[in-house]
Amino acid sequence: MTAMPFVLMYHSVEKYDSDPFRVTVSPGRFAAQLRWLAGRGLTGVSMGELLRARAEGRDRGLVGLTFDDGYEDFLGEVVPALLGYGFSATVFVVSGLLGEHNAWDPGAPPKRLMDEDGVRWAARQGMEIGSHSSGHRSLVGLSDAELQHEVAASKAALETVLGGRVSGFCYPYGHADAREVAAVAEAGYSYGCAIWKSELSGRHAIPRTYVGDRDGGLRLRAKWIRHRVRWGG
């Protein structure tokens, strides 16, 4: 199987009291994680930048940073921290829920999502905007028409918001079979981000490494080593 780049998967960064789905990293922990990367000569970059560098053979020391769902805290907590290190990242937003909340997480504390102005501001700061579908629905089991809407219509909607091309897609919940991966490629996305390693792993199903609030230096190092063992670098 082709070697895959080292890509970290985040969601939200903010202070919290309850986090039943473990999608939130505290600002202090996030700052420590960025220091860990920088201290080892690693640079966090967006997926677009990482894949371009990889194609040109200049990706040594680059780590993909991704943020799912497009929470509003990306603007106030994540972007300033990244810019402080000269890092960038990709944030995958739900095109049909901009400015709303994470209604797909029943029982979890509500988290506000970026609105259109926030998405445009993040892009101006050098962050890559990708699609996380139109409505954050699991794509597996949808009809072909519904799948088309979640994948292709979300791309078109975000391109209208940004006035530019959207190249990346992220599968909600990491759910993707061959049909869904093919739909992402056919919709014109340059790449797709999954979660787990599978027989579909490749350009349109790139596996990622989850990062949570418990991940200090030792755990990050273990995840880095595990990736290198699994994918050969």
Residue 2 pLDDT > 90: no
Q: What is the pLDDT of residue 231?
A: 82
CB neighbour list of residue 8: distance below 8 Å, 6 or more residues apart: 44, 63, 64, 65, 66, 208, 209, 211
CB burial readout 81-96, b (16+ within 10 A) else e: bbeeeebbbbbbbbbb
- Distance of alpha carbon 189 from alpha carbon 83, whole angstroms: 26
- Distance of alpha carbon 227 from alpha carbon 7, whole angstroms: 9
Taking only the tens place, the pLDDT of each residue in 6-25 is: 999 999 999 999 999 999 99
pTM above 0.95, yes or no: yes
Domain 7-221, second-level architecture? Alpha-Beta Barrel (3.20)
Domain ranges of the chain: 7-221
Taking only the tens place, the pLDDT of each residue in 98-146 is: 999 999 999 899 999 999 999 999 999 999 999 999 999 999 999 999 9
Element (H, E) at 65: strand 62-69
The mean pLDDT of the chain is 96
- Distance of alpha carbon 96 from alpha carbon 177, whole angstroms: 23
Radius of gyration of the chain (CA): 16
